Amino acid sequence: MPIVINEHWCKKCLICIEMCPRNLIEADEQGLPYLKDPDECNECENCAWVCPDFAIDIPEKEEV
Ligand code: SF4
Ligand code: SF4
Protein backbone atom coordinates (compact mmCIF):
# COMPACT_ATOMS: atom_id res chain seq x y z
CA MET A 1 0.00 0.00 0.00
CA PRO A 2 1.70 3.25 -1.12
CA ILE A 3 -0.06 5.43 1.46
CA VAL A 4 -1.33 4.59 4.92
CA ILE A 5 -4.06 6.67 6.53
CA ASN A 6 -4.10 6.70 10.33
CA GLU A 7 -7.80 6.61 11.12
CA HIS A 8 -7.19 7.67 14.71
CA TRP A 9 -5.59 10.93 13.62
CA CYS A 10 -7.83 11.64 10.62
CA LYS A 11 -10.55 14.21 11.32
CA LYS A 12 -12.37 13.51 8.03
CA CYS A 13 -11.80 16.97 6.58
CA LEU A 14 -11.35 15.29 3.16
CA ILE A 15 -8.77 17.81 1.92
CA CYS A 16 -6.71 14.84 0.74
CA ILE A 17 -9.52 13.80 -1.63
CA GLU A 18 -9.49 17.24 -3.24
CA MET A 19 -5.72 17.39 -3.53
CA CYS A 20 -4.85 14.04 -5.09
CA PRO A 21 -3.91 14.91 -8.68
CA ARG A 22 -5.01 11.45 -9.81
CA ASN A 23 -8.32 11.40 -7.91
CA LEU A 24 -7.37 8.19 -6.16
CA ILE A 25 -8.78 8.91 -2.72
CA GLU A 26 -12.41 8.42 -1.78
CA ALA A 27 -14.37 8.50 1.48
CA ASP A 28 -15.94 5.31 2.82
CA GLU A 29 -19.37 5.16 4.45
CA GLN A 30 -17.85 6.38 7.72
CA GLY A 31 -16.37 9.41 5.97
CA LEU A 32 -12.84 8.05 6.27
CA PRO A 33 -10.62 8.47 3.23
CA TYR A 34 -9.09 5.42 1.56
CA LEU A 35 -6.95 4.81 -1.49
CA LYS A 36 -9.24 3.26 -4.09
CA ASP A 37 -6.60 2.21 -6.61
CA PRO A 38 -3.16 1.66 -5.03
CA ASP A 39 -1.57 0.63 -8.33
CA GLU A 40 -2.21 4.10 -9.76
CA CYS A 41 -0.60 6.00 -6.87
CA ASN A 42 2.81 7.39 -7.80
CA GLU A 43 3.59 8.42 -4.21
CA CYS A 44 3.68 12.10 -5.16
CA GLU A 45 3.09 12.90 -1.45
CA ASN A 46 0.51 15.63 -2.15
CA CYS A 47 -2.02 14.01 0.15
CA ALA A 48 0.51 13.62 2.96
CA TRP A 49 1.65 17.25 2.66
CA VAL A 50 -1.83 18.74 2.71
CA CYS A 51 -3.18 16.66 5.59
CA PRO A 52 -3.44 19.06 8.57
CA ASP A 53 -3.30 16.19 11.05
CA PHE A 54 -0.30 14.29 9.66
CA ALA A 55 -2.58 11.28 9.27
CA ILE A 56 -1.11 10.11 5.96
CA ASP A 57 2.13 8.18 5.85
CA ILE A 58 4.03 6.96 2.80
CA PRO A 59 5.99 4.05 4.25
CA GLU A 60 7.77 2.90 1.10
CA LYS A 61 9.28 6.35 0.61
CA GLU A 62 10.60 6.43 4.14
CA GLU A 63 12.63 3.28 3.60
CA VAL A 64 14.67 4.82 0.77
S1 SF4 B 1 -6.49 15.41 4.87
FE2 SF4 B 1 -5.87 14.13 6.62
S3 SF4 B 1 -7.35 14.59 8.23
FE4 SF4 B 1 -8.22 15.33 6.32
S5 SF4 B 1 -9.46 13.58 5.58
FE6 SF4 B 1 -7.43 13.39 4.63
S7 SF4 B 1 -6.30 12.01 6.02
FE8 SF4 B 1 -8.08 12.78 7.15
S1 SF4 C 1 0.56 10.01 -2.95
FE2 SF4 C 1 -0.18 11.36 -4.61
S3 SF4 C 1 -1.10 9.99 -6.12
FE4 SF4 C 1 -0.90 8.83 -4.22
S5 SF4 C 1 -2.88 9.07 -3.20
FE6 SF4 C 1 -1.51 10.67 -2.40
S7 SF4 C 1 -1.89 12.46 -3.68
FE8 SF4 C 1 -2.75 10.69 -4.74
Mean pLDDT of 16-25: 98
- DSSP letter at 12 equals -
Q: How far is the CA of 35 from the centre of ligand 1 (A)?
A: 12
Whether 33 is in the pocket of ligand 1, judged by its Cβ within 6 Å, is: yes
Q: What is the dihedral of CA 51, 27, 30, 45, to 10 degrees?
A: -30
Is residue 3 within 8 Å of 57, Cβ to Cβ?
A: yes
**Prediction pTM value:** 0.91
Identify the sign of the CA torsion 18, 59, 2, 7.
negative
Whether 35 is in the pocket of ligand 1, judged by its Cβ within 6 Å, is: no
Whether 44 is in the pocket of ligand 2, judged by its Cβ within 6 Å, is: yes
Q: What is the pLDDT of residues 32-61, one digit of tens each?
A: 999 999 999 999 999 999 999 999 999 876
CATH classification (class only), 4-62: alpha beta
Residues 40, 7: Cα–Cα separation, whole Å: 22
**3-state SS, residue 46:** helix
